[in-house]
């Protein structure tokens, strides 16, 4: 109700009342630009930004041309009004800008520009980080990452957690990242990715778990409980996508 009342004040001179946010910001809240907008192109990057403390989760989508300019941008999710308004403005602002400038989105003085009250500051800062991190992620992938850097980035992006694992959601994320990388000409090392996911899943020492065989053994023989179930599902997901050989018979 509080924010609804704020929105109804747009017809008044808010500055004379000493109230924020500004009309510009409220316009983006009431009619968000680029929310769930469809984006196409050969270089489209999606970044999932989350903040458990704030309860926020959004996907920032950037489309780049061959020169590294952002030609289109959108966001998806069901964030708070503060995040919606800020992402609406930022995705408009990003269009036509070079990637390195979009990477600095988290340094823009938007809280002051929009006259954001204290209760809205965390949402504004989250939205700015989401866009900046999305641009940095796109640069990392486009910049010729080494195989190890690419795998480490993928493991972080897939954010595997046994207690919250959902095969359908994980499959969607995996397919999305595979599509992005394939479009850029990368050939993914499936066994290496599975190995590092299993290392993360089970809290293993990466120096001791250094081969796909070790990873498969952990999937099928570890504790017989939740992590073993998730490990088996991972193997199945990778197998149906042709990302690794089938497990030896009898395992």
Q: Is residue 245 part of a domain?
A: no
Residue of 46, 36, 34 lying closest to 179 (CA atoms)? 46
Q: Is residue 246 part of a domain?
A: no
What ranges make up the beta strands (E) of 52-195?
56-64, 70-77
Percent of the chain at pLDDT exceeding 90:
36
Same domain, 91 and 76: yes
**Integer Cα distance of 19 and 194 in angstroms:** 52
Q: Is residue 29 part of a domain?
A: yes
Same domain, 130 and 54: yes
State the CATH number of the domain containing residue 7: 3.90.1010.10
pLDDT: which is higher, 136 or 108: 108
Q: Residues 183-230: pLDDT tens digits?
A: 666 777 888 888 888 888 777 766 665 566 666 666 666 555 777 788
Paired with 64 in beta bridges are 70
**Integer Cα distance of 50 and 58 in angstroms:** 7
Last residue in a domain, options 142, 157, 182: 142
Backbone angles phi, psi at 107, to 5 degrees: -105, -5
DSSP state of 209: -
**Integer Cα distance of 215 and 222 in angstroms:** 10
Q: What Cα–Cα distance (Å) separates residue 242 from each residue in 62, 126, 235, 239?
A: 28, 37, 11, 5
Q: Is residue 213 part of a domain?
A: yes
Structural domain harbouring 174: 147-240
100 has a pLDDT exceeding 90: no
Q: Is residue 247 part of a domain?
A: no
Cβ-based neighbours of 108, under 8 Å, separated by 6 or more: 128
Q: Is residue 171 part of a domain?
A: yes
Q: Residues 4-47: pLDDT tens digits?
A: 444 444 433 443 344 579 999 999 999 999 998 888 777 888 88
Backbone angles phi, psi at 77, to 5 degrees: 135, -170
Q: How confident is the model at residue 249 (pLDDT cuts 50, 70, 90)?
A: low
Same domain, 32 and 68: yes
């Amino acid at each position: 109700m509080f924010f609804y009342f704020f929105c109804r004040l747009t017809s008044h001179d808010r500055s004379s009342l000493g109230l924020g946010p500004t009309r510009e910001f409220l316009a983006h809240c009431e009619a968000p630009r680029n929310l769930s907008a469809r984006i196409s192109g050969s270089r489209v990057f999606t970044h999932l930004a989350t903040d458990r403390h704030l309860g926020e989760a959004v996907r920032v989508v950037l489309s780049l041309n061959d020169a590294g300019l952002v030609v289109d941008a959108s966001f998806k999710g069901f964030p708070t009004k503060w995040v919606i308004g800020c992402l609406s403005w930022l995705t408009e602002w990003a269009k036509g800008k070079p990637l390195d400038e979009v990477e600095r989105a988290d340094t823009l003085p938007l809280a002051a520009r929009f006259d954001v009250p204290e209760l809205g500051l965390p949402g504004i800062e989250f939205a700015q980080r989401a866009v900046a991190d999305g641009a940095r992620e796109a640069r990392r992938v486009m910049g010729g990452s080494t195989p190890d850097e690419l795998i480490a980035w993928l493991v972080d992006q897939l954010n595997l957690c046994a207690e919250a694992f959902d095969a359908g959601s994980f499959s969607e994320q995996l397919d999305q990242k595979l599509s992005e990388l394939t479009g850029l000409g990368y050939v993914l090392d499936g066994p290496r990715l599975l190995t590092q996911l299993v290392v993360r899943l089970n809290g293993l020492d990466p120096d001791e778990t250094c081969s796909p065989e070790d990873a498969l053994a952990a999937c099928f023989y570890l504790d017989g409980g939740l992590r073993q179930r998730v490990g088996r599902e991972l193997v199945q997901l990778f197998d149906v996508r042709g990302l690794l050989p089938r497990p030896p018979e009898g395992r």
